[in-house]
Chain A
Amino acid sequence: MSDPRWPLWEVFIRPRAGLEHKHAGSVHATDARMALEHARDLYTRRGEGVSLWVVRSSDIVASDPAEADALFEPARDKVYRHPTFYDIPDEVKTL
């Protein structure tokens, strides 16, 4: 009998309290608990984190790279959304 294929899970680690979880990689596991155990063994051998999330890769909805221009281009010419766009005289403080 050929091996059953185990689902893929994405692993997110919170490096320490106060920081957000960040994507670290992925593991294969039959269920959520095994995914957490594998993530712990694989991605936190050197104190990389204090908390783990695992998410079924198939549950992640991603934007299409082909639509990246349509999605993100409009933000590029709106420089007035950044504080540095505005000229404020040097004499004016705490602004």
Chain B
Amino acid sequence: MYAQALDQPEGPREGGGADAAALEARFLARVAGEQKVEPKDWMPERYRRTLIRQISQHAHSEIVGMLPEGNWITRAPTLKRKAILMAKVQDEGGHGAYLYAAAETLGAAREDLVEQLLSGAAKYSSIFNYPTPTWADVGAIGWLVDGAAIMNQIPLCRCSYGPYARAMVRICKEESFHQRQGFEIMLTLARGSPEQRRMAQAALDRWWWPSLMMFGPGDADSKHTADSVRWKIKRFTNDELRQKFVDFTVPQARYLGLTIPDPQLRWDEAAGHYRFGAIDWAEFNEVLRGNGPCNRERLEARRAAHESGRWVREAAAAYARKQRARASAAAA
């Protein structure tokens, strides 16, 4: 669903003599010329590791992202909403699968990536550690969380690594439905009874600030290296994308007749942007550290799902072994 703060630097530069330097220079020239990198092409080891980490964390986010909304599938208010929500949650699972496949083209094994998620070693988007206490939260997630995700993901469609860029193209096409269905839920509530309007407002109050945090730390504090920019993985800074999101979303909230929970929010005519209040980064860091409202619950749910599916995976493998043995016996 989105790639937040997934661009921290890692490890020292790899060694290597003149050959490696020449290969790296040629690689950088190709990337600077907007040529795509494909799986079997030579690439710097740090480029490979950065991408495996970013793509797999992005995949984990999609998978964990199924949980907050999955919470409402059995309680969706109508059959239509239920069918839509199932399709959306299924899409998120699909997005995770596209992304794991892209990470695998870099030499990572899917089982290892999944293990990193389940053991708590890998990060995923902190937004999914917030609860969804009402139906309006499902609307707010589609509208705001998927909206912020799209803002982050559209530039990734032009990322230098071919398989990641192609996965993002497919994902962005599907996310558009997610955002629109979310806005439609909010619109229905906003046009409903006073109680429904209160529900919509409360959901906006809950999701606004966490959505702004999805873009990661401010540029001054961002740990992203120049490398991600030079490698054409990252094309806009966190603050640029966050500003764009605010500029797009404030008029949408106004249309809904809802109030953005930020008393400092104001239109800056000269700059042509909405100015917004300070983000509580202490909260962001706490959630990232594992102390958000639902961190433990999310990981436990993933572990339980993985464990209860184990017998199916084992049975499928045993069946395939048996079929192969039969085929070779018949051939003999």
Chain A residues engaging chain B, CB cutoff 8 angstroms: 1-6, 8, 25-28, 30-31, 34, 41-42, 45-46, 62, 64-66
Contact = CB atoms under 8 A, between A and B. Distances in A.
Given A28-B110, A34-B316, A65 B101 contact: no
Given A3-B111, A5-B111, A65-B41, A45 B313 contact: no
B44 interface: no
Interface in B78-110: 87, 90-91, 94, 97-98, 101, 104, 109-110
A5 B314 CA distance: 10
B98 A25 contact: yes
B101 A25 contact: yes
A45 B38 contact: no
Contacts of B101: 25-27
A47 to B, nearest CB: 13
A30 B316 contact: yes
Contact of B94 (A30, A45, A64): A45
Contacts of A45: 87, 90-91, 94
**Which are the 9 A-B pairs with shortest beta-carbon distances?**
A30-B320, A4-B317, A30-B316, A31-B320, A26-B101, A65-B40, A65-B41, A25-B101, A30-B317
Given A4-B313, A30-B316, A45-B90, 4 more contacts: A8-B104, A30-B319, A45-B94, A65-B42
B223 interface: no
22 contacts: A3-B111, A3-B310, A3-B314, A4-B313, A5-B109, A6-B313, A6-B316, A25-B166, A25-B167, A26-B104, A27-B97, A27-B101, A30-B317, A30-B319, A34-B320, A42-B94, A42-B98, A45-B87, A45-B90, A64-B40, A65-B40, A65-B42
Contact of B314 (A4, A31, A64): A4
Contacts of B87: 45
B323 interface: yes
Given A28-B110, A42-B97, A64-B40, A3 B313 contact: yes
Nearest to B320: A30
Interface string B1-43: 0000000000000000000000000000000000000101110
Contacts of A3: 111, 310, 313-314
Interface centre among B97, B174, B310, B323 (most CB of A within 10 A): B97
A88 B101 CA distance: 50
B48 to A, nearest CB: 15
Contacts of A25: 98, 101, 166-167
Contacts of A6: 313, 316-317
A4 B313 CA distance: 8
Contacts of A4: 313-314, 317
B293 to A, nearest CB: 31
Contacts of B166: 25
A1 to B, nearest CB: 8
B328 to A, nearest CB: 14
Contacts of B104: 8, 26
A65 B30 CA distance: 14
A61 B304 CA distance: 39
B124 to A, nearest CB: 20
A25 B40 CA distance: 16
Contacts of A64: 40
Given A26-B104, A27-B101, A65 B316 contact: no
A5 B90 CA distance: 23
Nearest to A66: B42
